[in-house]
Structure 1
Amino acid sequence: MKTVLITGGTAGIGLAATKLFLQNGWQVIMAARNADKGTAVKTELAAEFGAAIDFCQVDVSDEKSVAALHDFAVERFGTIDALVNDAGIVVKGRLHETSLDDWERVFAVNVRGTFLISKAFLPDMIASHAGTIVNIASVSGMAGDYAMTAYNATKGAIINMTRAMAMDYGPLGIRVNSVSPGPTNTAMFPQKMKERFSQNSPLQRIVEPSEVAAAVYFMSTDASSAITGENIPVTAGFEIGTGQPKQA
């Protein structure tokens, strides 16, 4: 039985991925900052999936916390076959309106967190000459947004970090890819904006968390064995246009 560790695994895209891996017979460790929520989600899922699910509290920006997560995961399930770096936060504002604290906070979670989690688990993957890492980026790392400079910068960093990691670790049997969701129907998405965002999609809708989870699962399995260093957009076509208005 294979094992996946999913940061941010208790809500939104991370929770959708957690459920999908469990439904396909994987063991899953969810990792997130909120211990109470994590314990509650674990209890709910364990009613259906038993010992295949576990939870560990972590601050992905803290090296000691990440080291403790690594030790917990290895003791609990042994080999971690797949790693999904989903933990992330959003900071909004134009650059001159963004405080240094907010800039450093979003980089600490989104970029440093991806770095620390990957750094902790890569030695085990190197030793077994196998493993996959999926980093959750964003359409906001592929192009710019209004008043989201800091967030754009973190997600762009993750996409290029993914490419560099794929080059370094491919010869060691490890694949690294990123998945970039477009506007996604999670609790963080402002529901009053759904219709407006949908107008920019050829499918006339935003993305569901389960659709992003499907891409994450695919990139974590042997079905994607020839894919590494790629960024996979799951956007309902949100980013494919030039931005010109519809003519007729």
Structure 2
Amino acid sequence: MNQLEGKIAIVTGASRLKGIGAAICRELVKNGCHIFFTYWTEYDKSMPWSMESTEPARLKEELAEAGVKVSCMELDLTRFDTLKQFIDKVSEDVGAPDFLINNATYSTNNDYSNLTAEELDRHYKVNIGATTLLSSEFAKRFKKKVGGRIVNLTSGQFQGPMPGELAYATTKGAVDALTITLAAEVAPLGITVNAVNPGPTDTGWITEELKRYLEPMFPFGRLGDPSDVAKTIKFLVSDDASWITGQIINSEGGFKR
């Protein structure tokens, strides 16, 4: 029997068809989950990889072809005052959620010499502020007593330094601390909390030059694919992972920095 059949998942940050968020949605839908995903086109359009405005609608249409309930909305995660209403909408559109996948992230290059308070605040609000508050709201509303799952996306900040990404490394590193403590707090509610570090993943941002530099660091001779992390998350939300909580899983194909 499919363990995920009929479960309801929230996936944040699924703006781009090539992204990790979209891959997570596809994997969960393939296994019978109903999905509510968020996106924020303003951010992705400002990045070098950019995106097409139609991508979220195309993803929704693709997912719905599996015969599950699918809904989505554009959500600015820096607006903390809207997060409770967001969870309300999830329940109205697809039902009370079983899983929360905190995939959305904010990342720009900076170091000690050019970091500003404004840029640090943007990283904080999305990477740790929204992740913490959404997780808290999810936990407060979870009444099913068993099978609740929160999965956070991190990036291996404690695997080694990330020069040139000071704000990103600082705020995503805090996600690891959140994961460990929140897991202990919400276990009595029937919720597990884990984080996944997928390592360098080819979602369209990696140039050919960077790809040639990174590939020798992977013993399998290739970069991570979005489907790799999606399958890890599928396992973590399943009943088979009910005894796994408070863990930071470095699922990065043996990547050596």
User: Is 1:157 aligned with 2:162?
Assistant: no
User: Is 1:40 aligned with 2:58?
Assistant: yes
CA distance in 2, matches of 1:168, 1:202: 38
Letter in 2 for 1:6: V
User: Is 1:25 aligned with 2:32?
Assistant: yes
Q: Unpaired runs of 5+ in structure 1? A: 244-248
**Which position in structure 2 is the counterpart of 1:8?**
13
CA distance in 2, matches of 1:229, 1:13: 22
- Asked if the contact 1:141–1:154 (Cα under 8 Å) also holds between the matched residues in 2, the reply is no
- Greater helix proportion: 1
- Asked if the contact 2:12–2:39 (Cα under 8 Å) also holds between the matched residues in 1, the reply is yes
User: Is 1:99 aligned with 2:106?
Assistant: no
- Root mean square deviation, CA, Å: 1.7
**Which position in structure 1 is the counterpart of 2:191?**
174
CA distance in 2, matches of 1:199, 1:186: 18
* Structure 1 residue 64 displacement after superposition: 2.7
* Structure 1 residue 3 displacement after superposition: 0.5
- Asked if the contact 1:141–1:157 (Cα under 8 Å) also holds between the matched residues in 2, the reply is no
Letter in 2 for 1:198: E
Letter in 2 for 1:209: P
* Structure 1 residue 36 displacement after superposition: 5.2
The partner residue of 1:118 within 126, 132, 135 is: 135
**Which position in structure 1 is the counterpart of 2:145?**
129
**Which position in structure 1 is the counterpart of 2:240?**
223
Letter in 1 for 2:39: A
* Identity in percent: 30
CA distance in 2, matches of 1:2, 1:178: 20
- Asked if the contact 2:11–2:25 (Cα under 8 Å) also holds between the matched residues in 1, the reply is yes
- Which has the higher relative contact order, 1 or 2, with Cα contacts under 8 A spaced 6 or more apart? 2
Q: Secondary structure at the match of 2:220?
A: coil
* Structure 1 residue 135 displacement after superposition: 0.3
Letter in 1 for 2:128: V
Q: Unpaired runs of 5+ in structure 2? A: 1-5, 42-52
Q: Secondary structure at the match of 2:127?
A: helix
* Structure 1 residue 52 displacement after superposition: 1.9
Instruction: Name the CA shift for 1:69/1:189 in 2 (closer, same or farther; >3 Å).
Output: farther
* Structure 1 residue 60 displacement after superposition: 1.6
User: Is 1:234 aligned with 2:239?
Assistant: no
- Asked if the contact 1:195–1:205 (Cα under 8 Å) also holds between the matched residues in 2, the reply is no
CA distance in 2, matches of 1:64, 1:191: 41
Count of paired positions: 238
